[in-house]
Amino acid sequence: MQKISTKNIAYFGLLIALNVVLTRVGSIRIGGGGVELVRIGFGGYPVIFAGIVFGPLAGGVVGAVGDVIGHFMSPMGPYMPHFTISAALTGIIPGVVMMLFKDQKAKSSFWKLTLAIALGQITTSIFLVPYFMQTLFSVPMVTTVPGRVIAQAVHIPLYAYVTKVLVSRLSLAWDTN
């Protein structure tokens, strides 16, 4: 786990801002019945990146704070803390998985990154969010899960590759390894 320093707090703020912008502005949002049914974009990546690079606590904070700020800046339906928990878990789960790998090179291993990201995305994006949508807004999981599975089949390897490249190129500047 990374120590909390002023420099890291600045990185967290940057990742929160990226999360909010990519989620709320840089995404295609499709609503129905007063709630957001589908969001197509890359807003979850900064949360995942924070969890992998800075640890699960940072990933959880970036996800939760980004979700709360994003909701109040650009709401699509009522605020539901369920989705904030899911956003936090999006960063926590990959961070915990990466901590379980004891070697220092885990952050540059495509397959370990893929596993960590996949466990997080399958848990949050494919199961929790559709479950919350069904429970809270009566949107059947049958209608939301297939599209999310297809999206994650693209996102997971893409996120792993981008993380591998970023970590290998930025490790000297950040002293994260």
Per-residue pLDDT reduced to its tens digit, 132-144: 989 998 888 988 8
Of 11 and 172, more confident:
11
Overall pTM > 0.85 = yes
Buried-state track 96-117, b at ≥16 Cβ within 10 A, e below 16: bbbeeeeeeebbbbeebbbbbb
- Helix axis angle, 56-73 to 81-100, nearest 10°: 160
CB 43 within 8 A of CB 37: no
| pLDDT, tens only, 139-176 | 889 888 888 888 899 999 999 999 999 998 887 665 54
| pLDDT, tens only, 108-138 | 899 999 999 999 999 999 999 999 989 998 8
- Give residue for tokens 């129905």: 32
Distance CA 164, CA 141 (A): 32
State the pLDDT at residue 176.
45
Write down the CATH number for the domain with range 6-171: 1.10.1760.20
| pLDDT, tens only, 49-76 | 999 999 999 999 999 999 999 999 988 7
State the pLDDT at residue 139.
84
Percentage of residues of the chain with pLDDT beyond 90: 61
End-to-end CA distance of the chain: 11
State the pLDDT at residue 177.
44
- In Å, how far from its chain's centre is CA 154? 14
Domain boundaries, the chain: 6-171
Closest CA to 77 of 146, 133, 147: 133
| pLDDT, tens only, 73-86 | 988 778 999 999 99
